[in-house]
A = this chain, B = another copy of it.
């Protein structure tokens, strides 16, 4: 509660790379994220950063992927869930990220995730990540249930998966 408020107070700083206009829609976006499904705290370490002294951006995808897998652990593990539905993996089909504020060695990144937009073969995971209440990252993943069908990897129907993990 307090933290949500802090975010609003800091929002002038939050999108500091560019003019704020570009991200006005995030105000609405944040509202839809106010009940995160899962949170994961990641301490940024020296080796996560690049010669510019900030997190090397592919690592942000490692962090959100970690958050998703951390959430799956309530059912054992990613493997346990994928196997339960004869899948190889809950694999990636689409993803994206916006970087609003630099993140550095020693920062504690709080990643929040939320499920959204279940379709027949895909579902969407939304992420927001904060350092001390400042929004640093918004991201999403579109995942499917990868199954090996006739020696090819294909996205399977996910309705049984939805009933299980997001009833």
Contact = CB atoms under 8 A, between A and B. Distances in A.
A95 B92 contact: no
A166 interface: no
A9 interface: no
A43 to B, nearest CB: 7
A123 interface: no
Copies of the protein in its oligomer: 4
A105 interface: yes
Contacts of A133: none
Contact of A58 (B43, B54, B62, B70): B62
Interface in A45-80: 45-47, 49-54, 56-59, 61-62, 65-66, 69-70, 73, 77-79
Interface in A67-103: 69-70, 73, 77-79, 88-89, 91-99, 102
A16 interface: yes
Contacts of A57: 61, 65, 91-92, 95
A93 B139 CA distance: 12
A57 to B, nearest CB: 4
